[in-house]
A = this chain, B = another copy of it.
Amino acid sequence: EDHIGALPYLLREVNPPLYATRLTRGLIEVKLKEQRIKGTHITTIRPHETINLPPFRIQPYRVCHSIPDGVGLAVHTPLGTVVHSGDYKFDQTPVDGKTTDFAKLAELGGKGVLLLMADSTNAERPGFTPSEQEVGETFERVFAQTKGRIIVTTFASNISRVQQVIDAATAHRRQVAVVGRSMQNNVKMAKELGYLKVHDRTLLKPEAIPHTPPERLAIVCTGSQGEPASVLVRMANRDHPQLTLVPGDTVIMSATPIPGNEEVVHRTLNNLFRLGVQVYYHELNRVHVSGHASREELKLLLGMLKPRYFMPLHGEPRHLTLHGELAQEAGMDPAQIFVLEDGQVLEIDQKGARIGERVSAGQVMVDGLGVGDVGQEVLRDRHLLSHDGFVIAVVTIDGKNGKLLSGPDLVTRGFVYLPKSEELLAEAKERVREALDKGGGRAAANKKIHEVLSKYLYEKTKRRPMILPVITEV
Contact = CB atoms under 8 A, between A and B. Distances in A.
Interface of A: 124-125, 259-260, 262-263, 266, 269-274, 279, 283-284, 316-318, 321-322, 341, 367-370, 373-375, 377-378, 381-390, 392, 394, 396, 406-407, 409, 411, 413-418, 420-421, 460-463, 466, 468, 470, 472
Given A262-B259, A461-B370, A463-B368, A284 B382 contact: no
A463 B369 CA distance: 8
B417 A375 contact: yes
A381 B392 contact: no
Given A259-B263, A382-B386, A392-B468, 17 more contacts: A260-B262, A266-B316, A272-B318, A284-B322, A368-B388, A369-B461, A369-B462, A370-B463, A378-B417, A381-B414, A382-B389, A384-B414, A385-B386, A385-B390, A392-B392, A396-B472, A409-B470
B273 A321 contact: yes
A335 to B, nearest CB: 16
Contact of A269 (B318, B377, B411): B318
Nearest to A372: B417
Given A260-B262, A396-B472, A413-B466, A382 B373 contact: no
Contact of A420 (B260, B373, B468): B373
Given A274-B317, A394-B394, A368 B468 contact: no
Given A259-B266, A273-B317, A316-B266, A381 B370 contact: no
Contacts of A370: 416, 461, 463
A397 to B, nearest CB: 13
Contacts of A322: 273, 284
B413 A468 contact: yes
Nearest to A466: B413
A349 to B, nearest CB: 27
Chain A residues touching B, majority SS: mixed
Contacts of A269: 318
A403 to B, nearest CB: 17
Given A385-B413, A394-B470, A461 B368 contact: yes
Given A316-B266, A392-B392, A415 B378 contact: yes
6 contacts: A125-B283, A259-B262, A373-B417, A373-B420, A381-B414, A409-B472
Contacts of A260: 262-263
Nearest to A373: B417
Contact of A381 (B375, B382, B389, B420): B389
A381 B414 CA distance: 5
Contacts of A317: 270-271, 273-274
Nearest to A464: B368
Given A124-B284, A283-B124, A411 B262 contact: no
A316 to B, nearest CB: 5
Nearest to A367: B463
B389 A378 contact: yes
A390 to B, nearest CB: 7
